[in-house]
Amino acid sequence: MSAWDPRFWRDRSVFVTGATGLQGSWLTKALHDAQAEVVVLVRDWVPGSELSRSGVVEQLRVVRGELCDQALVDRILGEYEVDTVLHLGAQTIVPIANRHPLSTFDSNIRGTWTLLEACRRSPTVRQIVVASSDKAYGDSEQLPYREDAPLRGRHPYDVSKSCADLLAQAYAATYQLPVAISRCGNLYGGGDLNWNRVIPGTIRSILRGTPPVIRSDGSMVRDYFYVEDGVSAYLLLAEHLARDSSLAGDAFNFSNEHPISVLELVEQIRALMGAQELKPVVLNQAMHEVPRQYLDASKATARLGWQPRYDLAEGLQRTIAWYRAFFQEQPHGVEVSG
């Protein structure tokens, strides 16, 4: 397995968007540990995020503002002489996108072109990784998705990721911008405070001794991709892009290639937490979501030498441990069972 190299990142000026999110928090921590000079753009303060909880945020260059602010993004890249951009900033919750499409389009599409345009004008930026998603592919009868499949999102979140993905490809093709694209499965791990997502929501319910709630009918099939494997994917892709300019405009799927239904996932969490008595409540209320999505990651294996380090059971165990510690630290706490 090819691992990312901390020596590549030492003293490198790196701009991370979405640093207070799930993947962004862990990615930023890893960069800080590698002694990179990390700059983050923060719109909303998220005190429970892993970035804040770990204390790493206090040791970073933090700029407050909006990703859609062109002048601000230009200033960040210029004043901090940014070398590498890791763009994870986005509105990532599907039900919110369905209820509030304009704010999702603003963050995910306009935010992406604002950043790419700033990178195009920057004399210092040498590599950019844009976070797309398996959702960019939309619904397809051909599974698993391969990178040459068309991008045809139909619902607001999916469309926003298809558009951001295509924007990155356009800037690479038209302006020779050194940008590559990651398409990951459903990311999970400690620090995800979006409780309507199945993994953190299920763990919190069990820790509180209440039945977990499933928004859908439980039959939806997804890849679940552990956040620390996501860190390796992003950093390894950026390193390869720095060495091989032919990767500009290229997209890579990242997945553990073991799709599972929501019901099976919840059952596995219940078993790991010793909570078989807490039967899930199935609401069957999910709308405008693709029933089956999962990825073929063979291209990343062949071209980058990438392999996931953690299988689903290991990733879930690490995630459960994070939430146990997190709730024990809270001033009001929760009753931790198991």
Taking only the tens place, the pLDDT of each residue in 31-90 is 999 999 999 999 888 777 788 888 888 999 999 999 999 999 999 999 999 999 999 999
**pLDDT > 50? residue 206:** yes
Model pLDDT, residue 338: 40
SS3 call for 221: strand
Report the sign of the C-alpha dihedral through residues 259, 264, 269, 273, in that order: negative
Calculate Rg over the CA atoms of the chain. Answer: 19
Cross-strand partners of 213: 281
Which pLDDT tens digit goes with each residue over 252-284?
A: 999 999 999 999 999 999 999 999 999 999 998
Two tokens, residue 125: 């930026």
Q: What is the DSSP letter of 22?
A: H
The pLDDT value given to residue 2: 65
Domains observed in the chain: 6-191+225-257+291-310 (3.40.50.720)
SS (H, E, C) 91-159: CCCHHHHHHCHHHHHHHHHHHHHHHHHHHHHCCCCCEEEEECCHHHHCCCCCCCECCCCCCCCCCHHHH
How many Cβ atoms sit within 10 Å of the Cβ of residue 329? Answer: 10
Sequence-separated (6 or more) residues with CB below 8 Å from residue 307: 1, 2, 301
Asked whether residue 332 carries a pLDDT value surpassing 80, the answer given is no
Summarised one tens digit per residue, pLDDT across range 77-112 is 999 999 999 999 999 888 899 999 999 999 999 999
Which H, E and C letters describe 289-336, residue by residue?
Answer: CCCECCECCHHHHHHHCCCCCCCHHHHHHHHHHHHHHHHHHCCCCCCC
CA distance 280 to 210: 9
Number of H helices, E strands in the chain: 13, 13
Residue 183: the pLDDT is 98
Point out which residues pair with 254 in neighbouring strands: 184
Point out the residues that are catalytic: 157
Provide the whole-model pTM. Answer: 0.93
Distance CA 312, CA 300 (A): 19
